[in-house]
Structure 1
């Protein structure tokens, strides 16, 4: 594979992976405007974020078997089409209930892109390159929290919140065209792969019971729950409590994403000297300490706008180190069932994220405490999973191994 082809594939896969984050981040500055226009509260608007996470979680379990049965591209096309149609529906929504349901369908469409992208990393690149490829994908994905809320803030102020969903429709349509024209089919359809519930559940169970998978998939899911608690809680914290404008909120969100991006790229350098397992454990330990300090300080009223931004920045830096390594380690043992493993990993992440997001909305107390408490709890749970799960892995599959390279 030439370097130019290598970069081009990562760009397409990264864009597919970024569709979901863009769909989440871009409309966040519009929460107050949506609440006012649809005669509801920002906390109820946040349920449209929770429904999105539920849709992604359920949808990934659906697409995993489809990707292993029909190849990667056909299910991807169907998902992107559903996404585009649901985006138009969100543009036309006239009630909060309609928006909540349409966001669920939008999520079901978008998760085809993310599951296909993760599975195709396993198909197209050597196992030893997985952490580096995931870090490069994160670089593309990380453009969304830098660009999406900033652009969304100005669009909401200038054209109304509905314009955000029009842009998301265009993005989905362009990615569908790009996938049709330039993305290779990386996995031959497997007619022997059964789509009956029992064999599918058997496949999922065989993946789930692998100690390396559940240790690192759960670690990634817990840290991801902390991230989505921040994503769903930050509009309420910054725009309702600290009273910043939608444009300023967009810039704050972009600034905070620098920590996520920067640490993800530093992670690529650290992989020259340390194993992925070591990096994940240290990241979880640091994030737990930061989360506890953040919670204590928030409860005591130590942090204003600047202090809150600093603590969130440090917390997100730990995510940049943990997530790419946890993702690579969780799917490293699989080649034949890589699609199902990727789907199960993503579904676990989004299920935990949906609970975290719902918790922030449910315990809305007009303070930052619910958001920060859920973030701290997620970090501590992830650390606990690491400390217990690592003892259960008898024969770890290192991401530096060549086994299963280009099996398809």
Structure 2
């Protein structure tokens, strides 16, 4: 495996990485403005939670067709189309004056997000120096920075108006669009286009299905916290932005610097088991202390460390655990995990309305623990994937055909 620094890269990689940062900003961007949206648009928290549901469910379903699209029009064109859609729908969400309109435009945003994120890692791996592991680190760095900066930007712009964060993302994505057009070269399409049914058929492979179901449960807990934790904090948009920025910084630091060290010392499976258990404890703390804002704030920030570790190790494992082409594996995996993330905020809203605000967090804690048992059913396969990652000769790095062979 190459010893080159993952941060010494050509312009094409930096252009896509910048776009990745802005794309991932969209995950936490709306967190600081959730209470303001509810107040200004006279909506309930469960209605506002649909901003996550529409965005993530559409992203999930679109994942099933992105591979087929990219294999026919090429990776660069897929990136450009995705970025254009995000620019347009983020601006339309900012221009909307109803919660229903914003939810609908977030769905369109999710389509663009699927086209972009399902292709961006493929392009980074195809163009990056430093090998597969180096590309993963660079990608996770972009994810961490985006998650950290998103709430900060959302809080600052949201303190002026809840419309600000949407227009801000639209403007930044336009810059990323220009950079992608200017610096990312056209890449060859695969000789054989990917079929529309390939991602669903890939889920017949036990390793991929286990990782997908584990991620579904993990994302259920993760997006429950992301979608509902802002309410019991009782903070304004500016201070909510600072809280989630602290959370995002821990995501970035533990993703890039601590996850690889823990993996090397203890192994992927053991780290993930402990990590998921720790997240379950954090969610139980939030549920028990939901009436104490300080408890919720501290617990959410601390959770960033465990989320960062989980993101990096899971991304590596899922790319190696399935025998199918990596782009197909990624599409199938993305479909399953984003379904969990999309349904969780909606279910949390219904549970909070019917019972109390603590119930969704207790359920989120349970899903983290259940993920441990699901992951354990694939323990042997995970160990094999880890050995493949450590021995490149046993699992050679893919050729530069991003829409066919590379992770997406």
Q: What displacement does 1:304 show?
A: 2.8
For residues 164-243 of structure 1, the aligned pairs below 5 Å read 164-186=165-187, 188-190=188-190, 192-193=192-193, 199-201=195-197, 203-238=198-233, 243=234
1:141-180 correspondence runs (5 A): 141-158=143-160, 160-180=161-181
Cα offset, 1:376, TM superposition: 1.0
Structure 1, unpaired ranges of 5+:
none
Q: Distance in 2 between matches of 1:394 and 1:63?
A: 29
Q: CA deviation at 1:299?
A: 5.2
* Structure 1 residue 124: Cα displacement: 4.0
In structure 1, the residue matched to 2:57 is 54
Pick aligned residue for 2:310 from 298, 302, 322: 322
Asked if the contact 2:320–2:389 (Cα under 8 Å) also holds between the matched residues in 1, the reply is yes
Partner-residue secondary structure (3-state), 1:399: helix
Q: Does 1:343 align with 2:331?
A: yes
Alignment partners' CA distance in 2, 1:223 and 1:294? 12
CA distance in 2, matches of 1:299, 1:148: 25
| Paired position in structure 2 for 1:288 | 277
Which digits, 9 at most, give the CA deviation of each residue in 1:80-113, with x for residues without a partner?
A: 1111111221122122111111110011112222
Within 1, Cα distance between the matches of 2:10 and 2:362?
39
- How far the C-alpha of 1:52 sits from its partner, in A, is 0.8
Quickly say closer, same or farther: Cα 1:43–1:206, change in 2 above 3 A: closer
Displacement of 1:250 after TM fit?
Answer: 1.0
Question: Higher mean Cα deviation, 92-101 or 391-400?
Answer: 391-400
Identify unmatched segments of 5+ residues in structure 2.
401-408
Q: 1:341 to 1:375 in 2, by over 3 A?
A: same
Alignment match of 2:28 (pick from 25, 30, 45):
25
RMSD (Å), alpha carbons = 3.0
Q: 1:81 to 1:307 in 2, by over 3 A?
A: same
1:156 CA displacement: 2.1
TM-score by length of 1: 0.85
Alignment partner, residue 266 of structure 1: 257
Offset of 1:157 from its aligned partner?
Answer: 2.1
Contact 1:119 1:338 in 2 (8 A): no
**Does the CA contact (< 8 Å) of 1:69 and 1:191 recur in 2?**
no
Does residue 104 (structure 1) correspond to residue 107 (structure 2)? The answer is yes
Shift in Å, 1:298? 4.8
* TM-score (normalizing by structure 2): 0.85
1:370 to 359, 370, 375: 359
In the alignment, structure 1 residue 386 sits paired with structure 2 residue 382: no
